[in-house]
Chain A
Amino acid sequence: MRRRAKIRGIVVGSISIVLSVIIFIVPFAFIFLTASKTAAEAALFGFTLPTEWALVENLTEVLTIRNGLIVRAFINSTVITVLSVVLMVVFAAMVGYVLQRRRSRWNPVVNFLVLAGLIVPPAVVPTIWVLQTLGLFATIPGLIFIQATFGLSFCVLLFRAFVSTIPKELDEAATIDGAGPLRIFFGVVAPLLRPVIITVVVVQAVAVFNDFTGPLYFLPGDENATVQLTLYNFQSQTLNQWNLLFMDILLITIPPLVMYIFFNRQIVAGMTSGAVKG
């Protein structure tokens, strides 16, 4: 009986591996192979090894195109990602902490607003109107605030759930020792939030870095372009240079891939939170 199960595991496993290669690996291999081809060969769309490897040439060409537009875009995207995630984490942790610790009649209101933030699609043009009034439209700080705002709800939910696992006695002991609320939160509670902070940082960093709609609406113009926007603009400009386009895709996919390799457990934890509790 057990041997039969084992054999079945091997058979089903082999079929799954073959299918997974066809469905999931081939597209990624295709990106890599196309990025390694010459322009003429890439335009054939074939799934073949390049007859002439041009990986390095394509890489330097993509990096130097239009005076290093991609390099600047990488810097912009990094700045936007880092700062918006910092804002999100600090602000959402403060909300999640007080929301979980203090029972008040405001809790239902705050909970409702958090859920609304998850469900309601942002109203695009009125947001642009508000940003223009504040002088933040089409600026990097503007997009940082936007990304931080749109990510808040998800972060608050994770922090609220995690704070409930930290014993309240710790806060009380610290109060008796004479610590104020800021000292308690940043000195005592925040270090204990480390696991959930890592989860939030990784998940939101990937989300902000990969976001296309936000920069498209709120950060138009070439000099402030983010990586996703350059990729999108490339698509319409470099019509016959599929090799460069796919090199760009390859470059842009590397940062999230590195994140995944180092933090895959935290990413999984973040994505599946709420799966058990509903």
Chain B
Amino acid sequence: MAQAVATKPQPTRRSVKSMYPTWFYIPAGVLYVVLFAIPTFASFYFAFTRWSLQDVEFTGLQNFITFFSEPQLRTGFTNTFIYGFVTSGLKVVFGLALALLLTGQLMARGYLRSVVFFPVLVSAIGVGITFKVLMDPFDGLINSSLEAIGITGPAWLTDPQWALYSVALIDVWKGVGIATLIYIAGLAAIPQEYYEAAKVDGAGGWKNFWHITLPLVRPATATVVLLSLIGGLRSFDLIWATTRGGPGFTSDVIASVIYKQYQAGFYGLSTAGNVVLFIVVTAIVVPVSYFLNRREVER
């Protein structure tokens, strides 16, 4: 083996350098630095100021104190966690269930796969407006159907208790297709021999699921959890299209607070919201990703 390597003409260090020049990084690097890195770093300064885009006045921690002392902003903070965890939890459960269903023996598998995936392609605004009508408390299709079978549905998006969860449900409806696809790919990667060996040992459906499928589909679970957490914690467009944070501010999340403060001209406060969101996302996503990937390596 060592000989084979030695006899093969190795490109010198210099030629490797010129074959794969570092300047290939520059076009992407310029965009990244100017439009992403600089604004991100600048946000850590402007978050501590009163800012009108022209004038900057350093105010210390004032923005963060405002952020956590005003009830409507604090609601946005806690709602972000609820929204992120509810959507990503439901996507894991429904995504895995649908994937198991769609990889089994079933009629019309192709049709079902397409149908589950299709909402992914519709814009959040389109989905939001459609569900605003479907979830209308009186005339909406959902509540009139429920009434037909004798159930009085909640007021969904207009009920302060339900608004945030209603949006989360719409989000799951729209996004479960991606989770399902990821799980289908993950299930396909599990070697059939494990199930055959389990059959010889006399294990049944539930045992297979708990001891083979669930542990071995873990990389897919990690991907689904991380993607939906990153998306869910930052989520803005669906919430804005359906409730605009209402009724009152009961379905506000950090991202919608950022937009509201921006609209009101409180640029410093809006940027402080961005910094809070940055901290929330990294403080959740980085440990979760570390945990999910470490366990995988150990096994």
Contact = CB atoms under 8 A, between A and B. Distances in A.
Contacts of A191: none
Interface stretch (B64-72, B115-123, B160-168, B196-204): B115-123
A249 B296 CA distance: 43
B129 A125 contact: no
Contact of A210 (B31, B108, B124, B262): B124
B32 A102 contact: no
Contacts of B29: 95
Nearest to B109: A13
A140 interface: no
Interface residues of B, number: 96
Nearest to A269: B185
B35 A181 contact: no
Contact of A27 (B111, B131, B136): B131
Interface in B234-271: 234, 236-237, 240-241, 255, 258-259, 262, 267, 270-271
Contact of A12 (B101, B124, B259): B101
A194 B28 CA distance: 20
Interface in A43-59: 44-47
Q: Is the interface of A mostly helix, strand, loop or mixed?
A: helix
Given A13-B108, A98-B25, A124-B274, A228 B125 contact: yes
Interface residues of A, number: 98
Interface in A137-176: 145-146, 148-150, 152, 156, 171-172, 175
A256 to B, nearest CB: 4
Contact of B185 (A44, A180, A272): A272
B78 interface: no
Interface string B144-187: 00000000000000000000000000000100001001111110
Interface in A178-200: 180-181, 184-185
Interface stretch (B85-93, B206-214, B215-223): B215-223
A181 B119 contact: no
B35 A127 contact: yes
A231 B129 contact: yes
A74 B282 CA distance: 36
Contact of A260 (B22, B37, B118, B259): B118
B121 A260 contact: yes
Nearest to B22: A98
B5 interface: no
Contact of A232 (B108, B125, B181, B267): B125
A26 B20 CA distance: 53
Contacts of A95: 24-25, 28-29
Given A12-B101, A94-B28, A175-B11, A259 B129 contact: no
Given A206-B121, A276-B186, A20 B35 contact: no
Contact of A275 (B19, B182, B234, B274): B182
Contacts of B275: 123
Contact of B19 (A90, A181, A235): A181
Q: Is the interface of B mostly helix, strand, loop or mixed?
A: helix
Contact of A118 (B25, B39, B107, B230): B230
Contacts of A122: 36, 39-40
Given A16-B112, A92-B28, A260-B121, A119 B293 contact: no
B223 A126 contact: no
A25 interface: yes
B28 A91 contact: yes
Given A119-B230, A130-B38, A130-B39, A124 B16 contact: no
Contacts of B101: 12, 16
B107 A123 contact: no
B189 A276 contact: yes
B270 A124 contact: yes
B48 to A, nearest CB: 13
Contacts of B120: 271
Interface of B: 11, 15-22, 24-25, 27-29, 31-32, 34-40, 42-43, 46, 51, 53, 101, 104-109, 111-112, 114-126, 129-131, 133-134, 136, 139-141, 173, 178, 181-186, 189, 219-220, 222-223, 230, 234, 236-237, 240-241, 255, 258-259, 262, 267, 270-271, 274-275, 277-278, 281-282, 285-286, 292-293, 296
22 contacts: A6-B105, A13-B108, A14-B107, A27-B119, A27-B134, A91-B28, A98-B20, A113-B37, A117-B32, A121-B281, A122-B36, A123-B42, A124-B258, A126-B43, A152-B28, A152-B31, A209-B123, A210-B121, A212-B240, A256-B121, A274-B223, A276-B185
Given A123-B42, A185-B24, A253-B126, 15 more contacts: A12-B101, A20-B111, A34-B133, A45-B133, A95-B25, A98-B25, A101-B19, A110-B25, A122-B36, A130-B38, A171-B20, A242-B133, A253-B123, A271-B120, A275-B219
| CB-CB nearest 3 A-B residue pairs | A13-B107, A123-B43, A278-B219
Interface of A: 5-6, 8-10, 12-14, 16-17, 20, 23-28, 30-31, 34, 44-47, 87, 90-92, 94-95, 97-98, 101-102, 106, 110, 113, 117-132, 134, 145-146, 148-150, 152, 156, 171-172, 175, 180-181, 184-185, 206, 209-210, 212-213, 216-217, 228, 231-232, 235, 242, 245-246, 249, 252-253, 256-257, 259-260, 264, 268, 271-272, 274-278
